[in-house]
Amino acid sequence: MAKRFIQLSEVSEVLDISAAQAYALVRSGELPAIKVGGRGQWRVEVSELENYIQRMYTDTRTFVSSHPFGQGIEE
């Protein structure tokens, strides 16, 4: 059975970012997450991480197509 939730350390591995950057994404609300347990450890639903990745692809495409150096570059 596939895991529904992953730890921030796994998020940072998937995105190849630091743990601090993963934490910042969660704290800002950019990447939805929940706090669980007595120590309030963060967990990210795998589907939310995938949604975040897809949003970043869309945002990047928009940025590249609107950027002067991106004009005329085909995907």
pLDDT in tens, 12-24: 999 999 999 999 9
Mean pLDDT taken over the chain: 91
pLDDT in tens, 34-48: 999 989 899 999 999
- Are 57 and 66 spatial neighbours (Cβ–Cβ below 8 Å)? no
Is the torsion defined by CA of 45, 46, 47, 51 positive or negative?
Answer: positive
H or E segment to which residue 23 belongs = helix 19-28
Residue ranges and CATH numbers for the domains of the chain are 5-70 (1.10.1660)
For residue 7, give the nearest of 57, 52, 38, 41 by alpha carbon: 41
